[in-house]
Amino acid sequence: MTVTRRPVVAGWFTGDDEADFRLLGTRCTACSSVFFPRADDFCRNPGCQGDGELAEVPLSPRGRVWSCTDGRYRPPAPYVSDPDTPWEPYTLVAVELDAEAMVVLGQAAPGVTVADLPVGSEVEVVPGILNEDDEHVWTTWHWRPVPAEVTR
Protein backbone atom coordinates (compact mmCIF):
# COMPACT_ATOMS: atom_id res chain seq x y z
CA MET A 1 0.00 0.00 0.00
CA THR A 2 1.23 3.47 -0.82
CA VAL A 3 1.68 5.80 2.11
CA THR A 4 0.76 9.38 1.24
CA ARG A 5 1.61 12.59 3.09
CA ARG A 6 -1.48 14.46 4.14
CA PRO A 7 -2.00 17.55 6.32
CA VAL A 8 -3.78 16.78 9.59
CA VAL A 9 -6.17 19.62 8.66
CA ALA A 10 -6.51 20.76 5.05
CA GLY A 11 -5.67 24.39 4.32
CA TRP A 12 -3.91 25.33 7.55
CA PHE A 13 -0.38 25.32 6.15
CA THR A 14 1.48 25.03 2.89
CA GLY A 15 4.90 24.02 1.61
CA ASP A 16 6.67 20.79 2.32
CA ASP A 17 10.23 21.86 2.98
CA GLU A 18 11.63 24.20 5.57
CA ALA A 19 12.31 26.98 3.09
CA ASP A 20 8.72 27.57 1.97
CA PHE A 21 6.65 26.16 4.86
CA ARG A 22 4.08 28.66 6.23
CA LEU A 23 0.95 28.61 8.35
CA LEU A 24 -2.05 29.88 6.38
CA GLY A 25 -4.67 32.19 7.77
CA THR A 26 -7.25 34.45 6.19
CA ARG A 27 -7.48 38.23 6.15
CA CYS A 28 -10.70 40.22 5.92
CA THR A 29 -10.44 42.53 2.91
CA ALA A 30 -12.77 45.05 4.61
CA CYS A 31 -11.12 45.48 8.03
CA SER A 32 -7.81 43.59 7.65
CA SER A 33 -8.43 41.31 10.66
CA VAL A 34 -6.44 38.09 10.45
CA PHE A 35 -7.80 34.69 11.43
CA PHE A 36 -6.03 31.46 12.34
CA PRO A 37 -7.32 28.80 12.13
CA ARG A 38 -8.62 30.28 8.90
CA ALA A 39 -12.11 31.81 8.84
CA ASP A 40 -13.70 31.35 5.43
CA ASP A 41 -17.37 32.11 6.09
CA PHE A 42 -17.42 35.42 7.94
CA CYS A 43 -15.29 38.06 9.66
CA ARG A 44 -15.55 38.00 13.47
CA ASN A 45 -14.74 41.68 14.07
CA PRO A 46 -18.00 43.12 15.49
CA GLY A 47 -17.12 46.55 14.12
CA CYS A 48 -16.49 45.32 10.59
CA GLN A 49 -19.04 47.02 8.35
CA GLY A 50 -17.87 45.62 5.08
CA ASP A 51 -18.97 42.47 3.36
CA GLY A 52 -15.31 41.74 2.94
CA GLU A 53 -13.89 38.63 1.45
CA LEU A 54 -11.62 36.44 3.49
CA ALA A 55 -8.43 36.08 1.49
CA GLU A 56 -5.83 33.44 2.27
CA VAL A 57 -2.59 34.84 3.73
CA PRO A 58 0.60 33.18 4.95
CA LEU A 59 1.39 34.01 8.58
CA SER A 60 4.75 35.29 9.77
CA PRO A 61 7.26 32.45 9.84
CA ARG A 62 8.87 33.69 13.05
CA GLY A 63 7.58 34.81 16.42
CA ARG A 64 8.39 34.97 20.12
CA VAL A 65 7.49 32.51 22.84
CA TRP A 66 4.42 33.69 24.80
CA SER A 67 4.59 30.62 27.00
CA CYS A 68 5.23 26.89 26.79
CA THR A 69 4.63 23.63 28.60
CA ASP A 70 4.78 19.91 27.98
CA GLY A 71 2.49 16.90 28.18
CA ARG A 72 3.84 14.33 30.61
CA TYR A 73 0.73 12.13 30.36
CA ARG A 74 -0.87 10.65 27.27
CA PRO A 75 -3.69 12.92 26.04
CA PRO A 76 -7.07 11.30 25.30
CA ALA A 77 -8.40 10.60 21.77
CA PRO A 78 -8.70 12.05 19.20
CA TYR A 79 -4.97 12.58 19.82
CA VAL A 80 -3.39 9.58 18.14
CA SER A 81 -0.81 7.59 20.08
CA ASP A 82 -0.01 3.92 20.49
CA PRO A 83 -1.07 2.82 23.98
CA ASP A 84 1.36 -0.10 23.79
CA THR A 85 4.42 2.12 23.56
CA PRO A 86 5.78 4.20 26.44
CA TRP A 87 4.53 7.78 26.41
CA GLU A 88 7.04 10.29 25.06
CA PRO A 89 6.30 13.80 26.37
CA TYR A 90 6.05 16.51 23.74
CA THR A 91 6.37 20.26 24.16
CA LEU A 92 3.61 22.78 23.44
CA VAL A 93 4.48 26.37 22.70
CA ALA A 94 2.34 29.48 22.30
CA VAL A 95 3.95 31.94 19.92
CA GLU A 96 3.34 35.68 19.57
CA LEU A 97 3.34 36.86 15.96
CA ASP A 98 4.10 40.58 15.75
CA ALA A 99 2.70 41.41 12.33
CA GLU A 100 -0.56 39.56 12.98
CA ALA A 101 -0.75 40.69 16.66
CA MET A 102 -1.88 37.25 17.73
CA VAL A 103 -0.73 34.16 19.62
CA VAL A 104 -0.67 30.76 17.91
CA LEU A 105 -0.24 27.45 19.71
CA GLY A 106 1.67 24.52 18.28
CA GLN A 107 3.82 21.56 19.16
CA ALA A 108 7.55 22.13 19.32
CA ALA A 109 9.82 20.13 17.02
CA PRO A 110 10.89 16.75 18.42
CA GLY A 111 13.66 17.06 20.97
CA VAL A 112 12.85 20.69 21.84
CA THR A 113 12.03 21.00 25.55
CA VAL A 114 10.60 23.69 27.79
CA ALA A 115 14.15 24.59 28.78
CA ASP A 116 14.89 25.50 25.15
CA LEU A 117 11.98 27.95 24.97
CA PRO A 118 12.27 30.81 27.44
CA VAL A 119 9.39 33.29 27.28
CA GLY A 120 10.29 35.99 24.74
CA SER A 121 12.80 33.89 22.79
CA GLU A 122 12.52 33.65 19.01
CA VAL A 123 11.10 30.60 17.27
CA GLU A 124 10.34 29.67 13.66
CA VAL A 125 7.72 27.45 12.08
CA VAL A 126 8.82 24.26 10.32
CA PRO A 127 7.04 21.27 8.78
CA GLY A 128 6.52 18.30 11.09
CA ILE A 129 4.88 14.91 11.36
CA LEU A 130 2.04 14.40 13.82
CA ASN A 131 1.58 10.65 13.41
CA GLU A 132 1.67 7.89 10.80
CA ASP A 133 -0.69 5.05 10.01
CA ASP A 134 -0.88 2.40 7.28
CA GLU A 135 -2.10 4.82 4.63
CA HIS A 136 -0.91 8.27 5.67
CA VAL A 137 1.84 10.33 7.10
CA TRP A 138 -0.16 13.05 8.85
CA THR A 139 1.74 16.32 8.59
CA THR A 140 1.54 19.33 10.91
CA TRP A 141 3.51 22.43 11.93
CA HIS A 142 6.20 22.60 14.57
CA TRP A 143 7.98 25.50 16.24
CA ARG A 144 11.68 25.40 16.97
CA PRO A 145 14.14 27.90 18.43
CA VAL A 146 15.90 30.24 16.03
CA PRO A 147 19.61 29.95 16.77
CA ALA A 148 20.90 33.17 18.31
CA GLU A 149 22.94 35.09 15.75
CA VAL A 150 26.59 35.25 16.43
CA THR A 151 27.46 38.70 17.68
CA ARG A 152 30.40 40.37 16.03
Task: Give residues in contact with Zn ion (CB under 5 A).
Answer: 28, 30-31, 33, 43, 45, 48, 52
Q: Is 85 in the site for another protein (CB under 8 A)?
A: no
Q: Strands 136-145 and 4-7: what pairing?
A: parallel
CA Rg, the chain, in Å? 17
Cβ 43 to Zn ion shortest distance, Å = 3
What is the rounded distance in angstroms from the CA atom of residue 90 to the CA atom of residue 10?
Answer: 23
Q: Does 67 bind another protein (CB under 8 A)?
A: yes
Q: Is 77 in the site for another protein (CB under 8 A)?
A: yes
Interatomic CA distance for residues 20 and 24, integer angstroms: 12
φ, ψ of residue 115 to 5 degrees: the values are -65, -25
Shorter beta-carbon distance to Zn ion: residue 47 or 83:
47
Which residue among 15, 22, 24, 48 contacts another protein (CB under 8 A)? 48
Q: Which residues of 16-47 are buried (b: 16+ CB within 10 A; e: fewer)?
A: eeeeebbbbbbbbeeeebbbbebbeeebeeee
Choose the binding region for another protein from 14-22, 33-41, 144-152 (rule: CB under 8 A). Answer: 33-41
Mask for 87-106, x = binds another protein (CB under 8 A): ---x-x-x----xxxxxxxx
Can you name the residues that pair with 140 across neighbouring β-strands?
128
119 binds, among another protein, Zn ion, none (CB under 5 to 8 A by kind): another protein
Question: Which of another protein, Zn ion, none is residue 24 near (CB under 5 to 8 Å by kind)?
Answer: none
3-class secondary-structure state, position 119? coil
Pick between residue 95 and residue 151 the one whose CB is nearest to another protein.
95
42 binds another protein (CB under 8 A): no
